[in-house]
Amino acid sequence: MFHDADALLLARIQFGFTVSFHFIFPAFSIGLASYLAVLEALWLKTGKALYLDLYRYWLKIFAVVFAMGVVSGIVMAYQFGSNWAVFSDRAGPVIGPLMAYEVLTAFFLEAGFLGVMLFGMSKVGRSLHFFATLMVAIGTMISAFWILSVNSWMQTPAGHAINAAGQFVPASGWLPIIFNPSFPFRLAHTVIAAYLTTALAVGGVGAWHLLKDSRQEHARKMFSMAMWMAALVAPVQVFVGDLHGLNTLEHQPAKVMAMEGHYQSHAHGAPLILFGIPDDDAQHMSHAIEVPRLSSLILKHDLDAPLAGLDTIAPENRPAVEVIFWSFRVMVGLGLLMFTLGAWSLLARLRGKLYEWRWMKRFAVLMGPAGFIAVIAGWITTEVGRQPFTIYGLMRTAESASPLAAPAVGASLVAFVIVYFSVFGMGSWYLLRLMSRAPQPHEPEPANAPAHAAGITSAPAFTAAVGESRHG
Amino acid sequence: MADTTVLTLVWGAILAFAVFMYVVMDGFDLGIGVLFPMFGVGKQRDTAMNSIAPVWDGNETWLVLGGGGLLAAFPLAYAVIMSALYAPLIAMLLALVFRGVAFEFRWRDPGHRAFWDLAFSGGSLVAAFMQGIMLGALLQGVHVEGRAYAGGWWDWLTPFSLLTGASVVVGYSLLGACWLNWKTEGETQEHARRLMRILAPLTLVALLAVSVATPFLGNEYFQRWFSMPRVLFTAQVPLIICILTWRFIRSLRRNYELAPFVLTLAVFGLSNVGLGISMFPYLVPNSITLQMAAAPPSSQVFMLVGAALLIPLILAYTAWSYWVFRGKVAHEGYH
């Protein structure tokens, strides 16, 4: 027989699985929407067809990413209630309005202008079309604002009271809730991560085509733009990530202890554990490779500062070091590699060899998917690090779930895994196929551009679209 | 206290509006999905899909508003309903995944077009059916104890919920056919008209069946419809539906293009009103009222400001987007 503990674990796996899958798409579409807005602005400003070609090339990719983001996002909007009913009931008065604002200010904006962005160029003219692109890009930003505010409130709850029914309700105004202590850091860190993820993906595609033909004009342009972004933003991300970490140390010290692998407290300077094998049962780090006192220097800016370990946290409140220790290292490691790629590209640019250095281009191809992995690793770090709470320190995960029997959750989990892997697997394959084709002069519009009898129908664009739909 | 009651009623009305908008906007495009296999491969199917490609995403956003709005304004009802309807809800969400991605994937992979067409129509069919089942399951009532759902995970499955499921599929299909009659021409339009002639009577039968069955579910539905003097008001609903049906038949005979679509939407609107008559003042029949589930005034007021400013704006730019893609969808060149 199944027990409640099984149902809870299955619900957690299901939420983690669906949210991780979902997060991949917005991480890409936030950056890509802004990139498209920049490309279209450059096209309108300079009149160079090159920018329009790149715009249309990435627009087709954006359409596929966005569709997958939408359908996996609708799942999230309902899963709070279906699987986390007690949490929804109790936290709804605080997080519900923020999520409703996300729908009203962001989702409608994106969806309302997406149709025009994808299919409307020949109908509304350049300026209005650019406006539509801008609205979609701004919509993705607004969406990030609200949902990260919700997530941050769950991490660092503030501005709430508890009513007679046990619900979290606003204590006075909404500003302390929206701008809760970890929100500014999380927002900055995540949006930059989305930009960096996009830059690496665009750069990887550019590098791939440059490896085949280093004179390809379109590939050169996208590679150059992406490498500027990586070179400038990766260092900023290291800095913002550090600030975010210090903020976490202040509000969620147990999470930082788990990230650092500090089971034990250190009275005189804590070492930075580079690698080791964490063992939660024994609360011990074996085979540790460590740099003495460096952790105190990083976290307290003092070599001799004492640093508390998980031994100061009640056992039932400790997060899983075995997960976070690794996910954090994956994120940081990839971040440093991104930094390296940015620096390498700057050096190549200075030498005038940006399009020639083959090893740098190969490295850029390899780093193409790095952003996605880093984003998921970071997400796991912060979410698993919040455990065993849904609302940090106030509401435990174990008391948040819906009263569902394990077979119900087990069946849905299996269905999600099968559907997501097959559908989004196919989708990712289509994305790779779109990316493997080099951008062309006179890049066609999206294939399924609907042609209408009314309005201004552009015959050449339509013919091109037909050709595209035939050849894929 | 009086103010908070008004506030809660306003939020009830906003959510009813969101549900109605969802049915108006996504009903026809799910219906097109259901009817998809009945259209010829190539020109007809491409035209049908192109007629909704620019707007389906916005249409589905009303579903997200329904969920998000319910969580925000009536968190207790959201929590109870979503866990009570777990299986059909998850099935609907997964079905929407298939049909949503099909809009893009179908064109990306002509080699597997047949598969993605099936994903599109199957996803639409299952999503519509599950929405109907959820409606029926809610109407027949769910077992609540304290602040939580206390039933099993197959409670929703009854003859009544299967009836409402089938009814929604038929009704959405009629909406889809009416939309295609309006937005297409030539053989696609003729085909849509043939389907309308079959689907309209089926929709009427379905509506009748659900209307007759509902008062006998218990839950005081009978009194809400037939007690004096309420019946003087509630009787207007079937009366107007009769008038609309007569207008619909006339518009079909005269080959009107837009009128059947609008008239069908009006029937759906009245069905929504009928649903309101049955349910009010409950969100979950016999156990959770609007007032019981209401979030505190501070939450409802905060959102009301946003809703009052933003919903008109959303309607405006949504209308603009439909206007941009106005007129008949051409299909030259797709064969």
Q: What is the pLDDT of residues B58-75, one digit of tens each?
A: 888 899 998 899 999 999
Which residues of chain A are within 8 Å of residue B314 when distances are taken between CB atoms?
A: 104, 108, 112
ipTM: 0.88
Ranges of chain B with pLDDT below 70: 1-4, 330-335
**Which residues of chain A from 198 to 237 reach within 8 Å of chain B, CB to CB?**
none
Structure tokens at A49: 């067809």
Q: Residue A441: how many CB atoms within 10 A of its CB?
A: 10
B180 in contact with A at a CB cutoff of 8 Å? no
Number of CB pairs < 8 Å for A and B? 295
* Nearest residue, CB atoms, B295 vs list A96, A447, A468: A96
Q: What is the pLDDT of residue A2?
A: 44
Check CB contact under 8 Å for B53 and A115: yes
Contacts of B150 in chain A (CB under 8 A): 403
3-state secondary structure of A447: coil
Residue B48: per-residue pLDDT: 86
Sort out which chain A residues have CB atoms less than 8 A from B96's CB and list them: 71, 74
Q: What is the pLDDT tens value at each position of chain A, 472 positions in all?
A: 345 778 899 999 999 999 998 999 999 999 999 999 999 999 999 999 999 999 999 999 999 999 899 899 889 889 988 899 999 999 999 999 999 999 999 999 998 899 889 888 888 889 999 999 999 999 999 999 999 999 999 999 999 999 988 899 999 899 999 999 999 999 999 999 999 999 999 999 999 999 999 899 999 999 999 999 999 999 999 999 999 999 999 999 999 999 999 998 988 888 999 898 998 888 888 888 888 888 998 888 888 889 899 999 999 999 999 999 999 999 999 999 999 999 999 999 999 988 989 999 999 999 999 999 999 999 999 999 999 999 999 999 988 988 888 888 999 999 999 999 999 999 999 999 999 998 888 887 765 544 443 333 333 343 344 334 333 3
* Amino acid A446: pLDDT: 67
pLDDT at A470: 36
Give the pLDDT of residue A462. 38
Give chain B's count of helices (H) and strands (E).
14, 4
CA-based nearest distance B232→chain A, Å: 37
Q: Is residue B149 helix, strand or coil? A: strand
Contact B104 A64 (CB under 8 A): yes
- Please tell me the distance from the alpha carbon of residue B295 to that of residue B78, in angstroms, as a whole number: 11
Side chain identity at A79, as an amino acid letter?
A: Q
pLDDT of B3: 61
Per CB-CB distance under 8 Å, the chain A contacts of B80 are 85, 89
The pLDDT of residue A466: 37
H-type alpha helices, B254-293: 259-279, 290-293
Would you state the pLDDT for residue A346? Answer: 94
Instruction: Give the nearest partner residue to B54 out of A67, A71, A118, using CB atoms.
Output: A118
- Cα–Cα dist B29/B102, whole Å: 13
Residue A432, chain B, CB below 8 Å: the answer is: no
Domain range summary for chain B, segments of one domain joined by +: 2-324
Q: For residue A465, what pLDDT is reported? A: 40
Are A391 and A157 spatial neighbours (Cβ–Cβ below 8 Å)?
yes
B69:A100 CB<8 A: yes
- Residues of chain B contacting residue A2, judged by C-beta atoms under 8 Å apart: none
What pLDDT is attached to residue A214?
87
The pLDDT of residue A455 is 35
The residues facing A391 across adjacent strands are: A395
- Among the partner-chain residues A85, A97, A416, the one whose CB lies closest to the CB of B83 is A85
**pLDDT at position B4, please?**
67
